[in-house]
């Protein structure tokens, strides 16, 4: 996690813990004290979502991160899409 948001909300500091949603494989940070949740994609979840999109016959995916893209996420998506290119 390299975005400014995650730098402020580090796992293990100020009550933040990392979890992964079992259904969507999406990671999220949760602070039990403040009841605040921040969900995001990492390389693993982006790869799973890309794999799912391709299995449904889609030819691409869309992603947006207002804090700045994580290079690992983009590389994973591209690798999955390139593997299916004709």
pLDDT, one tens digit per residue, over 8-49 is 656 667 788 999 999 988 999 999 999 999 888 889 999 999
Domain, as residue range, for 22 = 4-84
How distant, in Å, are the alpha carbons of 22, 51, 53, 82 from that of 57?
Answer: 23, 10, 7, 15
pTM across the whole model: 0.72
Six token digits for residue 2: 């390299």
Extract the runs of DSSP E, i.e. beta strands, from 1-86. 16-20, 27-31, 36-39
15 forms bridges with which residues in the sheet?
A: none
Confidence of residue 4 (pLDDT cuts 50, 70, 90): low
Please report the pLDDT score of residue 70 as a whole number: 77
Overall domain count for the chain: 1
Class of residue 45 by CB neighbours under 10 A (exposed 0-12, middle 13-18, buried 19+): buried
């Amino acid at each position: 996690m390299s975005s400014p948001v995650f730098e402020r909300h580090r796992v293990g500091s100020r009550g933040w813990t990392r979890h992964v949603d079992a259904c969507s494989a999406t990671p999220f940070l949760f602070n039990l004290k403040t009841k605040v949740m921040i969900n995001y994609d990492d390389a693993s979840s982006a790869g799973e979502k890309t794999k799912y999109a391709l299995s449904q016959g889609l030819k691409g995916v869309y992603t947006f991160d207002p804090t700045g893209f994580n290079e690992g996420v983009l590389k994973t998506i591209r690798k999955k899409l390139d593997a299916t290119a004709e």
